[in-house]
Each structure stands twice: as structure tokens, then as C-alpha cells.
Amino acid sequence: MLLNDPLFILAALASFGVLIILMIGIGGFAKGGDFNRKHANRLMRYRIIAQAAAVILIVTFAFVRSRWGN
């Protein structure tokens, strides 16, 4: 089962982290103001780093599952 696979859980958490960072960035952009000016670029950098990590984990998970099966 997928929920018993630590690599799947890690990939899911990384994906959820990307979602959280993205939502904070979009919320700051929509609100505008001082928060957006101070943190918009930093949040998007964090999102790109988290997204790269999530993609690497997802690809690794898919490779491991296809290579060694269930």
C-alpha cells in the first residue's frame, strides 16, 4: 500500500509544502502592499526549490516502484 511507503509519504509532504508556499505567495500577491514587496521574490525562490525537490522525489519514487515492484 502506498501509505506504508516512506518515499511516497515524503513525496506527498514535499508536494503539500509546494502548495502551501504557493498559496502564501498568491495570497501576498493578491493582497499587495508591504508584505508582497518584502517577500514575493523569496517565496517564489522557496517554491522553486521545494518544487524541484518534490519532482526529484516523485521521479525517484516512480523509478523505485517500477524497478523493484510493489
pTM, rounded to two decimals: 0.84
Q: C-alpha distances in angstroms, 32 versus 6, 28, 61?
A: 39, 6, 38
Residue 26 domain boundaries: 2-68
- As a whole number of angstroms, the distance between CA 26 and CA 20 comes to 10
pLDDT computed for residue 60 by the predictor: 95
Mean pLDDT score, 51-64: 96
Total tally of structural domains belonging to the chain = 1
Q: What's the mean pLDDT when you consider all of the chain?
A: 92
pLDDT computed for residue 1 by the predictor: 74
